[in-house]
Structure 1
């Protein structure tokens, strides 16, 4: 099953591994929906493609940190894939490189 949204949340695949792709900077309501999805899902692997975030920004950093926190609380293994060098550098500057 997949669903689309005009904001930053593009695809949600509810197979055994949960796949999420961010196609752009997520709006606060997108992050809320993703967190609710993680809260409702059985613990397992969650793969989050974030190549669409590009350079990111502090909003992207906040979104990734929130997703990691919810995933950790629910027992998910969260993997971020497709991180660009600018976002990696920004995460390092704010002390959150371990998110990746």
Structure 2
């Protein structure tokens, strides 16, 4: 999105599989914008599995878990499935705590 290190969706690679990159710091106020951006990027695409690369996230906390959960719900509402890859140890533990560890690739 921008080169200033701000949080957000870095890009979507349309080759197989569809890869979404989420990076930077994610705060509680970022989730709606991330979901709106995802919705715009997926508009008109046939349902597919999306891999969400979270390896470049700056921290693992409940704001990140909320944003990832909302991204998953947004993708599902549009007919897509969403899996996470590149999660660090702390994020893996948080996702397991809230029951989303089955989404890890």
Question: Do the structures match in fold with TM over 0.5?
Answer: yes
Q: Give me the whole-angstrom Cα distance separating, in 2, the residues matched to 1:92 and 1:69.
A: 17
Greater helix proportion:
1
Where does 1:1-100 land on structure 2 (aligned, <5 Å)?
A: 4-5=1-2, 6-26=6-26, 27-28=30-31, 29-100=33-104
Q: What whole-Å deviation, never above 9, does each CA across 1:43-64 have from its counterpart, x for those lacking one?
A: 1121111011244211110111
Structure 1 vs Structure 2 CA RMSD: 2.2
Residues 18 and 47, structure 1, Cα contact 8 Å, conserved in 2: yes
Q: 2:17 touches 2:51 (CA, 8 Å); kept in 1?
A: yes
Is the 1:54–1:87 Cα contact (8 Å) retained in structure 2? no
TM-score w.r.t. length of structure 1 = 0.75
Question: Which ranges of structure 2 fall in alignment gaps of 5 or more residues?
Answer: none
The question of whether the paired residues in 1 share the 8 Å contact of 2:49 and 2:82 is answered with yes
Q: Distance in 2 between matches of 1:40 and 1:73?
A: 13
- What SS is found at the alignment partner of 2:56? helix
Gaps of 5+ in 1: none
Higher strand proportion (structure 1 or 2): 2
Aligned-pair distance for 1:40?
4.0
Aligned residues: 97
Measure the CA separation in 1 of the matches of 2:36 and 2:75: 13
